[in-house]
Structure 1
Amino acid sequence: MQKTYTVNSKLLPAGFPREFDAHIYFESASLTKAEHLRDEAIRMFEGKKVFVGEMIPEAIGPHPVPMFEINFPKEHFTEVVLWLMHERGDLSVLVHELTGDDLYDHTQAAMWLGPAVELKYDRFK
């Protein structure tokens, strides 16, 4: 059974325009940096339609290493992505559209900030 994780310790509100996702990856050596970035994201986007997920301490789905997510609508794309570009340090970030086609979203509708993490694409089949 696959684990589920909540966002900001709660589920996304009904009707939230979840059009984009950013996965921020970390290893044990970069855990403190990732926790700090997550805390800063919560402060930075407070009051906006941007949700910062909890730390996911293990590989899940196609993601081979721990991560946390930031979910946001198109109206905040530039703001979130520019913020991540400047604040991510050496953490790898995958930003992708959410079309309902997971393989497409994580490949053709995706962009990387920093080095790409090799995803487990076979999880989408």
Structure 2
Amino acid sequence: MNVARFPVNEHDKYHAHVYFDQDTVTFATMLCEKAANLFGLAVGRVHHRNIGPHPKWSCQIAFTSDDFDILIPWLERERNGLTIFVHGITGDNLKDHTEMAYWLGKTEELNLAIFKTDSSLEVVGS
């Protein structure tokens, strides 16, 4: 089990993955749309299934270090209990989802097997 680390601005590019479920999908969708409109950020599709290493439904927000100091406190204030997984983008997916992993809210276990060449399963968070 890893300890949740609050995001720090030490990378050039980031993704924030807003996690939600059937009960919170409407709020999460509005949160992501509001972030896109307020900050001019690229927001991905609202996934109603688990995608990649993510253990819950999610929507991705792409942003840079220039956006970080405004976006992260805003997300923390506005998330209304949702978990948001934030990670740096270095080109090394495994590292990005482990060493560069930050959380707003509780941590979740990520399925990191998709980033490995062997069939072992590793999880981060809890």
| Cα distance between partner residues in 1 of 2:20 and 2:47 | 10
Q: 1:80 is matched with which residue? A: 71
Instruction: Classify the secondary structure of the residue corresponding to 1:28.
Output: coil
| Cα distance between partner residues in 2 of 1:64 and 1:85 | 20
Instruction: Classify the secondary structure of the residue corresponding to 2:33.
Output: helix
- Aligned residue pair count: 105
Q: 2:17 is matched with which residue? A: 23
Question: Partner amino acid for 1:36?
Answer: M
Unaligned runs of 5+ in 1: 1-17
Q: 1:53 is matched with which residue? A: 44
Q: 2:80 is matched with which residue? A: 89
Q: 1:6 is matched with which residue? A: none
TM-score (norm 1): 0.78
CA deviation string 1:21-67 (max 9, x = no partner): 00000011111111121221122113xxx212221111111112110
Instruction: Classify the secondary structure of the residue corresponding to 1:76.
Output: helix
Task: Select the structure that is richer in strand.
Answer: 2
CA deviation string 1:51-110 (max 9, x = no partner): 122211111111121100110111111111111111111110011100011111111112
Give the superposed CA RMSD.
Answer: 1.3
Unaligned runs of 5+ in 2: 1-11, 117-126
| Cα distance between partner residues in 1 of 2:55 and 2:110 | 6
Runs ≥4 residues deviating over 2 A: none
Q: 1:66 is matched with which residue? A: 57
Q: After superposition, where does 1:106-117 map in structure 2 within 5 Å?
A: 106-117=97-108
